[in-house]
Amino acid sequence: MHKAWQLICPFAEEMTTPLPPPPLDPASALFVDVDGTLLEIAPDPKAVQVPPHLPELLRALEARHGGAFALVSGRAIAALDRLFAPWQAAAAGLHGGERRRSDGSRADIDPGIASAALERIRPAAAEFAADLSGVRIEDKGGTLALHYRSTPERAAAVERFAQEAVAAGRGALRQLAGKMVIELVPRGFGKGRAIAAFLAEPPFCGRRPVFLGDDVTDEEGFAEIERRGGVAIRVGPPTTATAAAFALPDVDAALAWLSGAAPG
């Protein structure tokens, strides 16, 4: 088992196989990841294809849930707005480092000394990627992602670099391992924290939470949902143990499940 996974979900070995999810209750608070959940993952994040009907589906879900609907993504909020225009509503970006409330106001987390730590790491990351074919750096400003999707054999080298970067950050950074990517993020960022923050505010507060995600980076969100007695749904084939009690097989199934819940 991957060490990063053990850190995120130390009881993963005890988890049971997820079940098909129940029908989506319009009285719930709905949170949805993007890449691998709403969109098929592409070799380059900029190359993802957005189905033409998807912005309208997001609008319909927002209306059905009385505004208690938010995207929760590793992408920046500005990137989400470009992908799903003209839809623009509640969202958490950069793994919770950015957060836009349902009224449009912002509640971003101050990364503090992590900004300086990332600034010091950027030149080394660029040099590392230049020296190792198949590794690509995605600089999101507040986080730094090291992709190796085209060369999975680079996993060990990328993980070593990430571990060294975290050590150099002296506690300001942590690493999140995803599907052929390791991301360096400020320690205060996290999808579980973003979901908890939404649930403390209207129109999310007082509702049973539901979260769809597909990756190890979503496990903190699943754990927060399960802790609150909500519905956590893992999208994709069961490649690792998960804190989510429910599962959907792929992006098409997730879209169909959400489309069935949206008004026609």
Question: Which residues are catalytically annotated?
Answer: 33
- Of 124, 241, 250, 244, the C-alpha closest to 184 is 124
Residue 47: count of CB within 10 angstroms of its CB: 8
Residue identified by tokens 């970067």 is 165
Residue 245 half-sphere exposure, CB side, CA atoms within 13 Å?
13
- 114's CB contacts (< 8 A; 6+ apart) are 169, 172, 173, 185, 186, 187, 188
CA of residue 60 relative to chain centroid, distance: 22
Beta bridge partners of 92: 72, 99
Q: Exposure pattern of 83-113 as b/e (b: 16+ CB <10 Å)?
A: bbeebebbbbbbbbbbbbbbeeeeeebebee
